[in-house]
Structure 1
Amino acid sequence: MGPVFLGVCGKPADFEARCAMEQESKLRLFFQLLKGQKLKFILAMVAVAVTSLVGLLPQQVIRFTVDAVIGGEAFPLPGYLQGIYDLLGGRSTFLSNLWLCGVLMLLIYLVNSVFSFLRARLASSASETSIKKLRDRLYDRLSHMPYATHVNANTGDLLQRCSSDVETVRRFMAVQLVELTRTVCTLGFALFLMLGMNVPMTLISLIVVLPLFGFSLWFYKVVRKTFKAVDEAEGRLSTVMQENLTGVRVVRAFGQEKQEMEKFDGASGEFVDNSYRMMLNLSTFWGVTDFLIYLQIAITTVAGCYFAYTGAITVGMLISFSGYITTLLWPVRQLGRLLSDLGKTFVSLTRISEVLHEPVEEDAPGALTPTIRGDVRFEHVSLSYDDEERQVLKNVSFSVKAGQTIGILGATGSGKSSLVQLMQRLYDPTEGAIYIDGIDIRTMQRKWLRKNVGIVLQEPFLYSRSIMENIRITDPDKEREEVMKVAKIAQIDSLAREFDGGFETLVGERGVTLSGGQQQRVAIARMLLQDAPIMIFDDSLSALDTETDAAIRKALNENKRDRTTFIISHRVTTLFELDKILVMEEGRIVQEGTHQELLQEEGPYKAVWDIYGKLETEASMGGAQN
């Protein structure tokens, strides 16, 4: 996203203030995600604590069986358990019925399973509900961001923030937060039980714990660069694949299959190399930590045997220590990774928070929804993008009466598209004002304004749906007869008959199965179905042949019903019959009038018309000779 989000945390120079705001934003966002789900998370943490404690009890049952039941040694039981033990008959009953110890183990595992289920159910429910709200918030924010933000944004980065970063947060809330709690609880409960059995043996059993934790934490901090390299390589691989799939017609048309295959092979090789490097690092980590764990198990076993031989501990304690050390060391090894993942989660929260703090389009208080007839007036309108000094539009003024059809002619970059985009408030003018029916459009609701000002872009976007669904997007409730009417005006009815599925034919992603002209006709029908009093054709007849262009303009003229129409075109033949023509150069209107009026004065319009007439004459002479 880059520069688009610098506004969230201030200028780069304000580094300390920016960091403080980022820290506050991500923490605030995290607690906002917990809102409404705190009870579930608390209960999930309680369930984790119970499973952690209950998971350690089998070792105590084994110790009790070996020492108290079989060995006959005293075993310190809590008062209420001692009462139950005596009530059942004490040692003699358990010694003659050792299966009771097995039943006790099964009951412990049953309790553990029940609380494990509750933990998973509660954590999953809370995290999925929280993440759904987060996704909805992100989509809502993206839908209401200013048009300029989307123009300047990197779409791939936005998608990554809304997918990969959200998934990172979801995984942390559903899994890693629970695992972190489990590790802390297991360490605490295990140390409590081990210290209660024998302090020196406990200290010996923890010799490798701190080095293991430190190495794990250091390793995952270092290896994050490798993880990032793998993610970036995968992103480049996906980009190459997406570009090739989207531009398959261009690749085939220019015979670039071999070159694109080489590009894909290079990206794939880079991904494999980075993945191999990551796996090599992980293999090293698992190997080193496995050695440390087994070293600790060996130290604990040797020390335990010695203490048991000298009578410092019992055999049951030796077995319990052996079990606990294994239970302790594996979570400790994971603790480093969990803390590293916590850092990744905070990075993701920061990136998501930046999107959620982007400004949105807001209507003025008491915004109007007036009935629109179609009178349009520009008064001294100027426009600059992103506070640039260069003005795209310079002091533009003109007026249009409702029902008129206006042509706009100009070279590429003269400001034609910017002019009509202002009418939908995709941008607001930096100077001057635009009035529709005498009302400043900045006082109108944007949604209402855009409902009444329809636009067809030069490069229309079609969804991967049927022709009928693409036309009905502006008003899904319209009757089929009304769709057929606008389809006929846009000359799309004959096209639909060429397909076996007719209007139910799927057009593919971005309308890839249709030609550029066919896509424009579908987009024109879609806008006509909107039935807006003001219509804008932003060079949206450029991909049509002359005959279809003329047929659509004729049908539009017959069905315009006092609608104000703006047509941008590079073809003077498209514009010469219109009520008024605006000629633009470098952001200014340099000529204004009808076709006949503009031919009477020297200027760009007459020059273009003369060139067109000369080409027509040459074409006619060439045809006669043939």
Structure 2
Amino acid sequence: MLLCSRSSVYVFLKGGVFLKKPSSNPFSMLSSLSDGYRLLLITSAVTTILSIVFNYLMPQVIRFAIDTVLGDQPSALPAVLTSILMPDKQDTMRNLIACAIMAMVFSVLSGLFTYLCRYTMAKASEGMIERLRNRLFSHVQKLSYHWHVTHQTGDIIQRCTSDVEVVRGFLSAQLLEMFRTVFLIALSLLLMFSISVKLSWISTAFVPVVMLYSGVFYAKISKNFRKADEAEGDLSAAAQENFTGVRVVRAFGREAYEIDRFEKKNNLFSALWIKLGHWLSFYWGIGDLVSAIQVMVIVILGALEAYAGSITLGDFLLFSAYNSMLVWPVRSLGRILSEMSKTGVSISRLNEILNEPEEDDDPNALCPPLDGDIVFDHVSFDYHGVNPVLNDINLTIHAGETVGILGATGSGKSTLMYLLDRLYDLPNDCGTITIGGVDIRNIRRDYLRRHIGFVLQEPFLFSKTIRENISITSLQNELSAIRHSASVAAVDEAICEFAQGYDTVVGERGVTLSGGQKQRVAIARMLMQEAPIMIFDDSLSAVDAETDAKIRSALKQATNKRTTILISHRITTLMNADRIFVMEKGRVVQSGTHETLCKENGVYRQIYEIQGTLEEELANINKEVTP
């Protein structure tokens, strides 16, 4: 027996959650996002440097005013700048005013360049994040059906919102701050060494200490942030699932149970963030202590150096100013490292989505007519590598024929249709499925799916109007065509009874409609597609027998030349099909018309007799209760 499996996919999965894949530096993703924004990033870097330079020139003016204008020390500034700051050597007040004006000019220029660097960085970062969001959404749309059914929607949403927001915060603030901090540290040390080598070495000795404990906390923060981020995804999934299934929760009175389940997940999420906050508090507390010690040491030793005459009073004030400017960048570098740890986790989680392979087609994929015979030739298939769902299936559905497929839950009925629509790909050594003699693996996916209409047992309706939901599969949105499809689906009359008719908004997932109405709207939507192949996967299960018969009759007239596949547990839905296939444990055990199958001693006849008996009993009960 040939077993074909998709278990190789589970190398990357465990329990429906993402596993960490081996990858290169996660921040390489930022490089690809920066295409087209690099000029803005360079402009932001240049204006940052200019802002810092003018900001650092202000203490130089103060030193000049103290040592040269008020004192008798020679100027350490260039001759041009000295002549501007000291236009008259004999007029001290005039020179002080010139220094004040120059300090103000430097301050204004520093503020102007700060504005420009922030503006260009914001424009670049928002553009990069917009590109990331578009890339994520587009990529998720192109991932396989198997990927979607094995991952929680809430976790995907959390990654595409919260994790993207973390990356956005890094790009808009931390990335620029990192560049600014490195330049500030380098410039501060350069200027400090030009004033006092001894004090500079003492100040520099604190930098490795900060880097050391920052590196230790980087790993701790990263580990705890990943746990908190994953817990948030689990919490989002629970909330999304509960809000979506609110009618089921209310129907069974499970509000208390769901509240308790949510509170447990929320408590775990809060505990993880409290633990993360503990590490961050410890980290910043150590940082404040080290910074305070550094400033205290420099002030004491600098005062002693100035008292001893090793440096001037102006040099001491200038050195103290630059040391204070150094303290915050060094502390900020530690903050950036902690934020980078969070960003690294978020980028890794986003890369886990972006690294998933998209559905792809062969460059020479075909777009043939799909109005030919459908042939399943020795088809075998298995989802998880444990038990085969389909086992050596051989069946032919002729063009324009209406066939029915009957079988118990788990017999493989829906799997046949998922393979036909290429929601799952049939492995090369597991048989073939052809339409008009062309292997569907050689047909373009989007073309194939546009020409196969599919109605599921639990149809999904978008939070739009009924008119928009029905016309979503077609380029035409004329009300007459929409109403014609709705009439065939036996839902036009019900829609017209709504206050806003076809302009009625159905709510999220069609929550304002009954189960039968949702199924019929989905049928109308599929009919608008005018596909040559139509599949009804137990899509009449929520309608009564009378409506079922009415829809089947209208469908027979409307789809006379189309290949129609009816999957159902209800024999009355299938009995008028041209042929009926009966499936059991992944095999076709019977085939024929309703009449021929009723004459055989097999599964079909047993089901027919059971359903017939039940319908008779129900009819008798209705007679008894009818006054």
Q: Provide TM-score, normalisation by structure 2.
A: 0.90
Report whether the alignment pairs 1:453 with 2:452: yes
Number of the residue aligned with 1:11 = none
Q: Distance in 2 between matches of 1:261 and 1:385?
A: 34
Q: Which amino acid aligns with 1:433?
A: T
1:265-414 residue pairs with structure 2 within 5 A?
Answer: 265-385=263-383, 388=385, 390-414=387-411
Number of the residue aligned with 2:439 = 440
Give, in angstroms, the shift of residue 366 of structure 1.
Answer: 2.8
Q: Which amino acid aligns with 2:203?
A: S
Number of the residue aligned with 1:420 = 417
1:136-285 residue pairs with structure 2 within 5 A?
Answer: 136-285=134-283
Q: Distance in 2 between matches of 1:247 and 1:514?
A: 14
Give, in angstroms, the shift of residue 289 of structure 1.
Answer: 2.5
Number of the residue aligned with 2:24 = 23
Number of the residue aligned with 1:54 = 54
Conservation of the 8 A alpha-carbon contact between 1:5 and 1:358: no
Number of the residue aligned with 1:127 = 125
Give, in angstroms, the shift of residue 582 of structure 1.
Answer: 0.7
Q: Which amino acid aligns with 1:437?
A: G
Q: Distance in 1 between matches of 2:292 and 2:71?
A: 29
Q: Distance in 2 between matches of 1:512 and 1:92?
A: 87
Greater shift in the superposed pair: 193-202 or 132-141:
132-141
Q: Secondary structure at the match of 2:557?
A: helix
Conservation of the 8 A alpha-carbon contact between 1:45 and 1:178: yes
Q: Secondary structure at the match of 1:223?
A: helix
Q: Secondary structure at the match of 2:198?
A: helix
Task: Return closer, same or farther for 1:244/1:426 CA change in 2, 3 Å cut-off.
Answer: closer
Conservation of the 8 A alpha-carbon contact between 1:52 and 1:186: yes
Give, in angstroms, the shift of residue 245 of structure 1.
Answer: 2.0
CA deviation map 1:244-271 (0-9, x unaligned): 3222222222222233333333344444
Q: Distance in 1 between matches of 2:226 and 2:392?
A: 49
Q: Which amino acid aligns with 1:399?
A: T
Q: Distance in 1 between matches of 2:240 and 2:104?
A: 54
Number of the residue aligned with 2:40 = 40
Conservation of the 8 A alpha-carbon contact between 2:582 and 2:590: yes
CA deviation map 1:387-417 (0-9, x unaligned): x253221222222222221111000010100
Give, in angstroms, the shift of residue 27 of structure 1.
Answer: 5.8
Q: Distance in 2 between matches of 1:250 and 1:105?
A: 70
Greater shift in the superposed pair: 433-442 or 453-462:
433-442
Greater shift in the superposed pair: 219-228 or 295-304:
219-228
Q: Which amino acid aligns with 2:408?
A: A
Conservation of the 8 A alpha-carbon contact between 1:5 and 1:355: no
Conservation of the 8 A alpha-carbon contact between 1:454 and 1:534: yes
Give, in angstroms, the shift of residue 625 of structure 1.
Answer: 5.5
Give, in angstroms, the shift of residue 518 of structure 1.
Answer: 1.6
Number of the residue aligned with 2:16 = none
Give, in angstroms, the shift of residue 472 of structure 1.
Answer: 1.5
What percentage of aligned pairs have identical amino acids?
44
Number of the residue aligned with 1:12 = none
Q: Which amino acid aligns with 2:202?
A: I
CA deviation map 1:47-66 (0-9, x unaligned): 22222222222111111111
Q: Distance in 1 between matches of 2:312 and 2:113?
A: 32
Q: Distance in 2 between matches of 1:193 and 1:238?
A: 51
Give, in angstroms, the shift of residue 190 of structure 1.
Answer: 0.8
CA deviation map 1:545-567 (0-9, x unaligned): 22221221111112113111111
Number of the residue aligned with 2:533 = 534
Q: Which amino acid aligns with 2:568?
A: S
Q: Provide TM-score, normalisation by structure 1.
A: 0.91
Conservation of the 8 A alpha-carbon contact between 2:50 and 2:113: yes
Task: Return closer, same or farther for 1:92/1:272 CA change in 2, 3 Å cut-off.
Answer: farther
CA deviation map 1:530-588 (0-9, x unaligned): 01111100011111122221221111112113111111010011111111111001111
Greater shift in the superposed pair: 529-538 or 508-517:
508-517
Task: Return closer, same or farther for 1:330/1:217 CA change in 2, 3 Å cut-off.
Answer: farther
Which runs of 5 or more structure 1 residues have no equivalent in the other structure? 9-14
Task: Return closer, same or farther for 1:505/1:621 CA change in 2, 3 Å cut-off.
Answer: closer
Conservation of the 8 A alpha-carbon contact between 1:207 and 1:296: no
Give, in angstroms, the shift of residue 149 of structure 1.
Answer: 2.6
How many pairs were matched up? Answer: 611
Task: Return closer, same or farther for 1:124/1:407 CA change in 2, 3 Å cut-off.
Answer: same
Number of the residue aligned with 1:482 = 481
Conservation of the 8 A alpha-carbon contact between 2:85 and 2:99: no
